[in-house]
Structure 1
Amino acid sequence: MPALALPKTAAWLAELAGEPLPGRRQEDWRFTDLAPLQAVAAELWSGPDPFSQCSLPGGISRIAPAQAQLLLDQGLQATGSSTAWPVRLNRGASPHFLALRVSGSVEPLQLTFDAAAGQGLLALQLLLVLEPGASLELLLHHGSRAANATSLVTVAQLGQGAKLNLGVLAPGDARASLLSHLAISQAPASELQLTTAVGGWALSRFEPRICQSEGAALTRLRALQLVAGQELADTHSQVQFNGPDGQLDQLHKVVADGAGRSVFNGAVRVPRSAQRTNAAQLSRSLLLSDRARVDTKPELEIVADDVKCAHGATVSRLQQNELFYLQSRGIAVDQASRLLLRGYCDEVLRELPAAAASAHPLQLLLRERP
Structure 2
Amino acid sequence: MSTDAATQSRIVRVLVAGQVLAGLGQGATLAIGAVIANEIAGEAFSGAAATSSTLGAAIAAIPLARLAQRFGRRPALALGAATAAGGSILTVVATGLVFFPLLVVGFAMLGVGTAVGLQARFAATDVAAPARRGRDLSLVVWSTTIGAVVGPNLFGPGVAIQDALGLPEHTGSFVIAIAAQVTAALLYLSALRPDPLRLARGRAVLPAPTAVAGIVRGRSALVFAIGSIAISHAVMVSVMSMTPVHLTHQGASLTIIGFTISLHVAGMFGLAPAFGWASDRWGRLPVILGGQALLGTAVFVIGVGAQNTLFVTVALVLLGLGWSAATVAGSALVSDLVTGATRLRVQGRTDTIMSLAGAIGGGAAGPVLSIVGYSGLAWVAGVLVLAVLAAASIIRPRVPRYL
With the length of structure 2 as denominator, give the TM-score of the two structures: 0.23
Instruction: Please state which structure has a larger fraction of its residues in helix.
Output: 2
More strand by share: 1
Higher relative contact order (CA 8 A, sep 6+): 2
